[in-house]
Structure 1
Amino acid sequence: MPTGTIGLVITGWHHALHETDDPKNECSTGYTAGDYTNAEAQPDHAELRRKFGHPYSRGPNGELTNYSPMAVEDPIPPSELTTRTGYGLNLDGTADGKATPRTCAHAKFASPEGVQVDNQLARVVGCTKGWRKGGFSDAFYNEEIYTNPVNRILIEITGVDDERNDPQVEVAIYKGEDRLTRDPAGKYIPFLTQRIDARFPEYSTKLRGRIVDGVLITDPDPDATARLPIRWIAKVAERRIRDLQLRIPLAGSWPVAMLAGYEDNKIWWNSQKAHHIAMPAAQNSPPSQYRALMRYADGYPDPKTGQCTAISAAYRVETVRAFIAHPETPQQRTAAATMVHARCPCSDPAGLHGASAIPS
């Protein structure tokens, strides 16, 4: 039965990490040491804190680690992923991660199903406790997806003839403006109206795709960069992702609903440094994290330096069905105004207000 249009709203957003109950299965030395732990281990920490008055002013001239990550090196070696198993998509089209005109050489992950995939950002955050399942950063951000409409991301699939198999569909991603609603059990309520936020057309992305065995699969557009808004801990930023691809189950099975592509290094870091929390709960250390970002970046090399300017990233997303409401066009507004005027002439205010006309 043709459905025509399918609307989705994202209700959850997590780094696509392959995790087991024991982090040492993925990170041989356990979780990476956070900023505060590294500060205390720094030999000149007491002197720097006495001089500059802040525990994270760890640079020689009091530089904060999140804004000047190269000013200091962490005294505790960072823990990084040692597992070869991971989630992601094959973004570069190679089987071995060799360099191509738009990628740098890198080691791929093997998905649990044995598919070679790209997700180098997992190597940057995969041993950070805050971004793993149940971690502070992951939990805080996902609560803000619920509480703040800045994080409202809508997906609209049009031209759908069959939800199980359709060789050609159009997909649009928008910023929404409405809140999410949960039932008493905490589950998101589907099929509510979500309006597109017309104030931010820059957050609109168009993709082409298909539905295979009930799974939406989109094709990358190498000429487009998707921009997605973020609000996290009272800071507003955005993501910029090239070659954006979606794998979302609609009426079939897929290991995880996924959004993947090459995320711009500078934009990603700008959002991270703005959101860095000066407290042990964050469990990340900017000097080590920034170095890892530069080391593992594998997308879109700078033609002059050869340094890749983007990093392959995969996110596990959660969605519920929604009705996507488009803003009225000028023609629709004119037609609506004409209908109101036809029902209620301006000379008769009683028609507008439901009360008898005021006598002269």
Structure 2
Amino acid sequence: MLGLSGAAMAEPLDGGRIGYVLTERHWAVYETEDSKTECPDGFNGGPREQFDELFPEDSKVERTVLETRLMREGRQFHPTTTPEPFPFKEVQGDISYGMNLDGKVGPEDFQSPDGEAGIDNQLYRAIGCIASYRTDGAVWFFENFFMAGNGYTRWMIELTGVDSLENDDDVTVTTYRGLDDLVTDASGQGFVSGGTQRVDVRWGQSFINEVKGKIVDGVLTTQPIEVAKIPWSQPGVSGGYHLIRDLQLQLKLTANEAQGQMAGYTDVAQFTHRLNTNWATHHQSYGQLSSPSEYRALRRLADAYPDPETGANTAISSSVNMTLTQVYIVHPSEETQAWNQVAKNGK
């Protein structure tokens, strides 16, 4: 029954099954009130600031468009690990959201706001002093805002074999991409539980993963997913996604929503490719996000999955703060799936 409160709806835990759809997500950036703890030297400059420094208006040196604008644009899509020509400000604090992904406590690890040691979130170290990723920054706001209206990014999880949302030592968690709009409240700003989402079994196969988990005191934790593909695209841009290795979920469950984080090792090359194909240089300027400088930081701080030839790490520990709203997940019939497979194979 769409639009009704959780108290008025049918019990969502039906036959040991409950579904949730993603309604809010942000890269996990721990922020203090004045930002001085994590960013004592301020925030990084972006494309406009760097361009002005390289090519000041009062310079008497004549340069062509090829030597200036096109050169800078080319470096967006062909980043390198050559020495950073601009000072890059990494996070200096020792507190971060995230999980202990490797089960160790090392000198580069953070501590969670709750005091847990060994938190792995080197992505935060790289992006935490870029204004665009912080609360109400351009990436923080628009990527979440557009997610709600962009069907490509309709990411869901379904729990099966659930005896209780409070404690259950053996549940199965499956990820899917959905096909339907989100159900909002009258303001259009909040999301209402009890809607329905059809599973995309034709074009969403690469987003389907299954993993075991357990619920302790209302908190779901999952075993790692070896490689997860997470849809993460701006409207009108196809193919926007992140690749996250060893992805784990840690979510506080209720009958109406799931709230917490997903963490894992994000592929650096895909992170940068997705950024540049979804955010033009013009838009990166709102929030002082320099893609070439960010790429160097990501590669420098990457802490997992070394390239077999070069030995350089290709993935960086990361965490996403997220909220999912309860939905009834609708699976197509076996007949429909068979027809979709025929159509996909062109037979």
| Residue number among 26, 39, 51 corresponding to 2:38 in the alignment | 26
Counterpart of 1:13?
25
Counterpart of 1:100?
none
Counterpart of 2:215?
211
Mapping of 1:155-304 within 5 angstroms?
A: 155-185=157-187, 186-199=189-202, 200-221=204-225, 224-232=226-234, 234-236=236-238, 237-251=240-254, 257-279=260-282, 280-304=285-309
Mapping of 1:329-348 within 5 angstroms?
A: 329-330=334-335
Distance 1:331 1:305, change over 3 A: closer
Counterpart of 2:51?
39
Q: Flag structure 1 segments of 5+ consecutive residues without an equivalent.
A: 98-106, 335-360
Q: Flag structure 2 segments of 5+ consecutive residues without an equivalent.
A: 1-10, 340-347
- 1:259 touches 1:316 (CA, 8 Å); kept in 2? yes
The code of the aligned residue for 1:15 comes to: W
Residues of 2 paired with 1:314 and 1:218: CA distance? 14
Counterpart of 2:8?
none
Counterpart of 1:352?
none
Residues of 2 paired with 1:51 and 1:57: CA distance? 9
How large is the RMSD of aligned CA atoms in angstroms? Answer: 2.6
**1:331 CA displacement:** 8.1
Distance 1:9 1:331, change over 3 A: closer
Distance 1:332 1:312, change over 3 A: closer
| Residue number among 331, 337, 340 corresponding to 1:326 in the alignment | 331
Distance 1:179 1:256, change over 3 A: closer
1:34-57 deviations in Å (ceiling 9; x for gaps): 111011011478789951269643
- 1:244 touches 1:262 (CA, 8 Å); kept in 2? yes
- 1:38 touches 1:75 (CA, 8 Å); kept in 2? no
**TM-score scaled by structure 1?**
0.82
**1:264 CA displacement:** 1.3
Residues of 2 paired with 1:247 and 1:92: CA distance? 15
**1:296 CA displacement:** 0.6
**1:25 CA displacement:** 2.3
Residues of 1 paired with 2:62 and 2:286: CA distance? 20
1:116-144 deviations in Å (ceiling 9; x for gaps): 21111111211111111111111111111
Pairs aligned (count): 318
**1:161 CA displacement:** 0.3
Mapping of 1:142-161 within 5 angstroms?
A: 142-161=144-163
Residues of 1 paired with 2:224 and 2:337: CA distance? 33
Distance 1:56 1:85, change over 3 A: farther
**1:14 CA displacement:** 0.2
